[in-house]
Structure 1
């Protein structure tokens, strides 16, 4: 199936989920009669290409949602490639070109504070997407990070109990330059504290699997694999590095490893029994919410008309926000979540070498 065909199929399935945000955005813009009557440019800035979701899901879904809400609007797109200086320049370039609103997933949530202030002074509102940015942002759209961490922690406790593993956990956190990393960690610790012992905790620069591999290798060398009962990995890239380190160390029975983002590789690792779980965040719903807020702000309207709550950053209080609910995915509910939502087909997950494992998991009949 071609990428274009896959995206078409995915969009047909998520359309029903995002209909509520479509209605919300039209109401904020004065109803169907006024929707799309003006045109302006929206800047979309994503942080890296390391995490598959940004290019595979978020960019095309946001662009499509923006086009549906404002047919005459255009999108200026840039990817920071994990370089905050690059993202600063991209923001300056977009403001110079005359974008009316920015959707920003920051490469560094603190370092872009001055750039966001400059955007505010230029009259360009900034909507923080997925990661909360410091500075005078006008809106925030994400999944509830505390709930992400709680789902990971709860799943890890269950998996460790099911395997009869000891109560020692290695925490493989995200990049500390992003606010989400601390958010996820707090959510996980709210579940794990008092139930297990955190014997090692690492930050993963750039959310890169090679850095997670190095950290996990250090943990194995210091502790020995037998003392590691489970690994709280903040996302699927980190989980990939953790699992590669465990396999390289010739650990025969892998401890339970968590993840996040429902990357295809991670789902296949779950089927194989190498990764215990991931956290699924329906990106179509998130894209719909951020597009609704960006179009409202671009039209000079109030982001609170789209927001469902407020959230505080270290620099800004009561930010109009949409915080969505994530879902835990294990081998037992892949079909009921990712397949039914059109994220992946059974054929995409169950490649030839995984057919026996998929048969055992009940994914192929």
Structure 2
């Protein structure tokens, strides 16, 4: 896990900003952070904000340009080209599509600019660095939670992630490592499974509505790959009077997810220290700008989808369950406070009183 020994990682202001100032770094230097979409609030509110904040702290003379492609792979490629035209010296990319984003890393390499894959792998020989948690283990933890809270013969719904996101497949593989033996033996029944293009909650909602219709509401567990899917599933079950009676997993531990957990409607979410992931990416970015080695930060090497060795910084993850899990996230995530979670219906829960 990347050491959390830096100070000042609290989010300040909006992430979609350009920061510059005087400092040891060359004021002409600029780096670009390319976000995939704004469907999930974490990208702008947590990852980008923490990256910008850390860069301002450790390299105040470097401009940080933040782009959001809104789930458009062509737009993300254009934004990368724009950043390179503007003189970006490092690209930090959260790809929409791990395959098509290879052109971003390849184009940058032609100009001598390194590309860091943040959160999602870029399947290019020119990917310099990757930072992520063990998403296979995260998926396994989601599935295990639902299994632990269901019984023999119970029917499960699987709401998977976006088919173009490399992480979504790994999460699904982790889930199936737990579930497939149970499906094979009949201990659990796969009632419905579907992918969610763009991680769009509206698509997840349609999937859950279809599942409930096809199964005549005979659903005892929902293995959801992220919080957006979980919220969509809960909204669908709310209309059927089922919310709060069915275990539902998630990922990211958004404020909304934690509120739903306090209300007993979402029962689990996988949490990662996004501030540490962003800090690690910022530290590597600065090392690259200065021409310094970052081998001490990249503790492992992994192969990406094209067989290229990529320096890797793994981060820990935590399976948050119930009010205890919410308390853990609030204590360890500088972007989320108790006051933020204890709003609306959640304010009336015992946790918030």
CA shift digits 1:218-247 (9 cap, x unpaired): 111111212x22111000011111111222
Deviation at 1:122, TM superposition (A): 0.9
Number of residues paired by the alignment? 330
- Kept in 2, the 8 Å contact 1:208–1:237? The answer is yes
- Name which of 203, 212, 220 aligns with 1:220: 212
CA shift digits 1:122-181 (9 cap, x unpaired): 111000001111112100011211121122122112222xxx474322111000101000
CA shift digits 1:190-209 (9 cap, x unpaired): 22221333232100011011
Q: Is 1:247 aligned with 2:238? A: yes
TM-aligned CA distance change 1:280 to 1:355, over 3 Å:
same
Q: How does 1:180-329 map to 2 (within 5 A)?
A: 180-195=167-182, 196-226=188-218, 228-251=219-242, 254-329=245-320
- Kept in 1, the 8 Å contact 2:320–2:326? The answer is no
Larger displacement relative to structure 2 (297-306 or 207-216): 297-306
Q: Is 1:170 aligned with 2:162? A: no
CA shift digits 1:266-296 (9 cap, x unpaired): 1111111111111111111111111111112
Deviation at 1:102, TM superposition (A): 0.4
C-alpha distance in 2, partners of 1:220/1:263?
25
TM-score, normalization: structure 1?
0.85
Deviation at 1:185, TM superposition (A): 0.8
1:140 corresponding residue in structure 2: 130
CA RMSD of superposed structures (Å): 2.2
Deviation at 1:56, TM superposition (A): 0.9
Q: Is 1:42 aligned with 2:27? A: no
- Name which of 48, 55, 62 aligns with 2:51: 62
TM-aligned CA distance change 1:117 to 1:284, over 3 Å:
same
TM-score, normalization: structure 2?
0.87
Structure 1: runs of 5+ lacking an equivalent: 1-14, 23-34
Name the SS of the counterpart of 1:76 in structure 2: strand
* Greater than 4 Å deviation, 4+ residue runs: none
1:19 corresponding residue in structure 2: 6
2:99 corresponding residue in structure 1: 110
Structure 2: runs of 5+ lacking an equivalent: 10-22, 183-187
Deviation at 1:78, TM superposition (A): 0.6
Larger displacement relative to structure 2 (241-250 or 173-182): 241-250
C-alpha distance in 2, partners of 1:83/1:350?
35
- Kept in 2, the 8 Å contact 1:159–1:276? The answer is no
- Kept in 2, the 8 Å contact 1:48–1:54? The answer is yes
Larger displacement relative to structure 2 (286-295 or 191-200): 191-200
- Kept in 2, the 8 Å contact 1:38–1:70? The answer is no
Deviation at 1:18, TM superposition (A): 4.1
TM-aligned CA distance change 1:270 to 1:170, over 3 Å:
same
Deviation at 1:303, TM superposition (A): 4.1
